Structure 1
């Protein structure tokens, strides 16, 4: 998924809301929606690339004992 960063920059210029604030709000909303999905990982996070608008969901991968072994 990609966010239209040009549109966000237009909102920033027209409404005076910083790009950082807009991106943070979108990340928070997407994370909240993600957590409503069945099987969602509770410690996941959302990252939006501020240049490309690419959205990534990242979560910790754990072994059988619950120890972190990586991220996906």
Structure 2
């Protein structure tokens, strides 16, 4: 769930703070909000990373039809 995944991100933030000897000054709610947002951003990044290899050609075709991109642009995304 989102809550469990954000707990993992919170643990990572806490470990990073300890590694760099930084004292946490944010409240619990701010920490949890940041952890949830970072979790959502990572989820979106994973989804994009999984979808682009499959639908990348179709997506670049749609974009190039609107923006009149040169044909070499399509090679970059393949």
| TM-score with structure 1 setting the length | 0.40
Larger fraction in strand: 1
Larger fraction in helix: 2
| TM-score with structure 2 setting the length | 0.38
